Amino acid sequence: MSLSFTELVGLELAKQALLLLAVNPALTGAAIAAAVGSGKSTLARGFAALLPSGTPFVELPVNVTEDRLLGGLDLEATLTAGRRVIERGLLARAHGGVLYVDGLNLLDSDVVARLLGVMADGVVRVEREGLSDVHPARFVLVGTYDPADGEVRRGLLDRLGLIVPFAPQTDERLRAEVVRRNMSASGSGATNEAFEDDATEMLRAMIADARERLPGVRIEEEQIRALIHTALSLGVEGNRADGFAVQAALAKAALDGRGAVDDDDLRLAVRLVLLSRATRMPEAEDRRKADDHPQTPERGEEEEGKDGDESNAAPEPESQQIEDLLLSAAEAELPKNLLDLPFAMQRRGKSGSRGTALNSRRGRFVRAVEGDPRENRIALLPTLLAAAPWQKLRMQNEELRKGKRILNSRFSILSSDIRVKRFRDKAGMLYIFVVDASGSMAINRMREAKGAVVRLLQDAYVHRDQVGLIAFRGRQAQVLLAPSQSVERAKRELDVLPTGGGTPLASALLTAWQMARQARERGIAQATLVLMTDGRGNVPLQVENGEVPPAAQAQKAQIQAELQKLAALIRADRINAIVIDTQANYLSRGEAPKLAEWLGGRYIYLPNAKAEQIAKAVS
């Protein structure tokens, strides 16, 4: 038995967000960031029990197909009725209720675009495979995700009123309570279930009462102005967040049974709406805006103030007092590193595209072609249309009817009729950093490479790019970061960067080539190798019994031959290459430019390379 909404602990802010969303659908949705195993999915599914009876709660899989998302031809019903029957998709089924996504950051870019369009219009337009229909689709979106797997696309986050920031669970007592409650739930009896049912019913009643009270809740102009000034001080972009903050404060007041918004409501609105959208820390001048809102004293007050002391000065505007209060609360909640917030991380993302590529798995359906149904998705309507002209002839051929697969007694389909779907999707880029971790400059090279990896990952969500990191030292290369879009994962897995030893450059090229080939099988057609090295390899790829050949000249010739062969493989696979020479000019023997020539790539001389320079040169 899983824990109910009221039993879960450690996700109090997420609970508050969902309760506000249940009260005020104008908030449009909630995104909840939490680590794997924290109970975020259980909490979201438990949210369904708090909604009025009959409210739809639809789960959207991250690998959803376009026909399931939008709707399409119901083949069985069509064949039975003898006319086209359109089946509603998941978005239309969620109308009037909740659409839930577990793994919000893993949604395909095309699915996100469709979802944003439906959220903006409130309807689903089915225009595909000869079908045309419109279904209403107004719902609130609840999404959960683990930031270690990548960030949610900014366009989608911007549409959701409530964003619960990621907060690692470090409270020992709270973690112990989580374990205790899980153990209790696994052996709970009817008494516990009855108690939880009562708690759930109480929450449902509170939500229903708050919904009735919401239209009459008041918010003062000074409070609205304070929220807007707080948003400006945090660098929140756009006006949508201002409206969400006001709606969140109103919902909190209604949930607490009050008819007017107070300071606690405003603070919660800042936490759930504005903080995750912050792109900068409040500056000193943001704390005082009195000059921007001067108060003109009455004539009598002006004369009296000339002879009076400071106690007779005009009082501070009420909105300024509230803003100071909200900024103090916001500063206490802001992380030390603003890049831990999704909007600050994605602010530097650039629009654009790496181009598009046809594939058989995901993206926008563009055409139907002949193909193997075991390896592709069948395009039903094109398949039926291809088979239709031949039905009369096939039904007259008794031998054909007996020997071939028949859909029903009146319709036969041959393998030559089958059409499969082709999709067009963004063609992401894989950046493979290959860093020389040997020698005296290794520590500096690795540190700057890590910084460049993180900077590139901050833009990766726009283009579907991924970044991997390979270090080479000692006898062979080592994959430190498998291809990823996650800044959090990069920071975590690159904390320890080994350095020192020999320079197995050939092993590094082989490992990078294998990583690029594997990425191609997963649909990433373009790859760029970024080699940070002086181009000098001293460990051959082929070593007998683990020993380096004794003759230095023979070893050098073997290494050079291996590098040339591997470079030819990389060039033949059309893998882009950039060689960043980190060696001081007076020590260079021209190995790095020669390596760049073999790879057919670019050569960049950066002896004191900084992370910003590397990222700029690569992108």
Complete DSSP assignment for 440-464: TTHHHHHHHHHHHHHHHHHHHHHHT
- Two tokens, residue 619: 């992108």
User: Which of 114-123, 233-242, 482-491, 597-606 has the largest mean confidence?
Assistant: 114-123
User: What's the pLDDT score for residue 494?
Assistant: 62
Q: Does domain 12-166 have CATH number 3.30.2320.30?
A: no
Mean pLDDT of 253-264: 94
pLDDT band at 266, cuts 50/70/90?
A: very high
Which sign does the torsion angle of CA 155, 161, 167, 172 carry? negative
Give the list of residues 6+ apart from residue 476 with CB closer than 8 angstroms, or none: 504, 507, 511, 539
CA distance 89 to 118: 12
User: Which of 46-50, 245-249, 276-280, 384-388 has the largest mean confidence?
Assistant: 245-249
Q: Which of 128-132, 397-401, 599-603 has the lowest mean pLDDT?
A: 397-401
Q: Which of 46-60, 71-85, 189-203, 411-425 has the lowest mean pLDDT?
A: 189-203
Number of neighbouring beta carbons within 10 Å of residue 317: 18
Compute and round to an integer the Cα radius of gyration of the chain.
Answer: 31
When the pLDDT of each residue in the chain is averaged and rounded to a whole number, the result is 77
Same fold, 12-166 and 429-618: yes
Q: Which of 255-264, 505-514, 548-557 has the lowest mean pLDDT?
A: 548-557
Domains of the chain by residue range: 12-166, 215-297+316-346, 357-425, 429-618
- Two tokens, residue 345: 């991380």
pLDDT band at 593, cuts 50/70/90?
A: confident
User: What's the pLDDT score for residue 282?
Assistant: 73
Q: Which of 48-52, 266-270, 369-373, 425-429 has the lowest mean pLDDT?
A: 425-429
Mean pLDDT of 422-450: 71
CA distance 598 to 322: 65
User: What's the pLDDT score for residue 234?
Assistant: 85
User: What's the pLDDT score for residue 410?
Assistant: 60
User: Looking at the predicted structure, is the pLDDT value of residue 37 above 60?
Assistant: yes
User: What's the pLDDT score for residue 420?
Assistant: 84
Mean pLDDT of 242-267: 95
User: What's the pLDDT score for residue 513?
Assistant: 93
The more confidently predicted of residues 322 and 558 is: 558
DSSP code of residue 513:
H
Q: 429-618 — its CATH code?
A: 3.40.50.410
Tens of pLDDT, residue by residue over 348-367, are 444 334 455 555 555 566 67
Dihedral pair phi/psi, residue 109, rounded to 5°:
-60, -35
- Two tokens, residue 90: 């998941």
The more confidently predicted of residues 20 and 441 is: 20
Mean pLDDT of 415-439: 77
Phi-psi region of 29 (alpha: psi -120 to 50; beta: other; left: phi over 0): left
Instruction: Give percent of the chain with pLDDT exceeding 90.
Output: 26
Per-residue DSSP letters for 527-572?
EEEEEES-S---S-S--BTTB--S-HHHHHHHHHHHHHHHHHHHHH
Long-range contacts of 589-596 (CB under 8 A, 24+ apart): 589/536, 591/534, 591/535, 591/536, 592/533, 592/534, 592/535, 593/535, 594/535, 595/531, 595/533, 595/535, 595/563, 595/567
The more confidently predicted of residues 343 and 407 is: 343
267 within 8 A of 329, measured Cβ to Cβ: yes
548 within 8 A of 555, measured Cβ to Cβ: yes
What is the dihedral angle through the alpha carbons of 237, 271, 18, 218, rounded to the nearest 10 degrees? -80
User: What's the pLDDT score for residue 237?
Assistant: 84
User: What's the pLDDT score for residue 300?
Assistant: 45
CA distance 619 to 561: 31
User: Looking at the predicted structure, is the pLDDT value of residue 346 above 60?
Assistant: no
User: Looking at the predicted structure, is the pLDDT value of residue 591 above 80?
Assistant: yes
User: Which of 338-347, 459-468, 497-506 has the largest mean confidence?
Assistant: 497-506
Mean pLDDT of 568-588: 79
User: Looking at the predicted structure, is the pLDDT value of residue 569 above 80?
Assistant: yes
352 within 8 A of 295, measured Cβ to Cβ: no
pLDDT band at 294, cuts 50/70/90?
A: very low
Dihedral pair phi/psi, residue 431, rounded to 5°:
-95, 120
CA distance 250 to 268: 11
The more confidently predicted of residues 614 and 144 is: 144
Query: What's the distance, CA 308 to chain centroid?
Result: 60
Number of neighbouring beta carbons within 10 Å of residue 546: 6
CA distance 15 to 18: 5
pLDDT band at 332, cuts 50/70/90?
A: low
User: What's the pLDDT score for residue 165?
Assistant: 85
The H helix count followed by the E strand count for the chain is 24, 20
Phi-psi region of 360 (alpha: psi -120 to 50; beta: other; left: phi over 0): alpha
User: What's the pLDDT score for residue 356?
Assistant: 52
Q: Which of 390-399, 415-424, 567-576 has the lowest mean pLDDT?
A: 390-399
User: What's the pLDDT score for residue 351?
Assistant: 36
User: What's the pLDDT score for residue 21?
Assistant: 96
CA distance 504 to 473: 6
User: What's the pLDDT score for residue 159?
Assistant: 93
pLDDT band at 245, cuts 50/70/90?
A: very high
User: Looking at the predicted structure, is the pLDDT value of residue 29 above 50?
Assistant: yes
CA distance 536 to 574: 24
Instruction: Specify burial of residue 480 (Cβ count, 10 A radius: 0-12, 13-18, 19+).
Output: buried
Give the list of residues 6+ apart from residue 302 with CB closer than 8 angstroms, or none: none
User: Looking at the predicted structure, is the pLDDT value of residue 140 above 80?
Assistant: yes
pLDDT band at 493, cuts 50/70/90?
A: low
Catalytic (active-site) positions: 240
CA distance 65 to 68: 5
Mean pLDDT of 442-470: 70
User: What's the pLDDT score for residue 345?
Assistant: 52
418 to 249, 378, 387, 410: CA distances (angstroms): 56, 7, 8, 17
CA distance 604 to 619: 13
523 to 41, 358, 517, 518, 596: CA distances (angstroms): 29, 9, 10, 9, 26
pTM of the model: 0.60
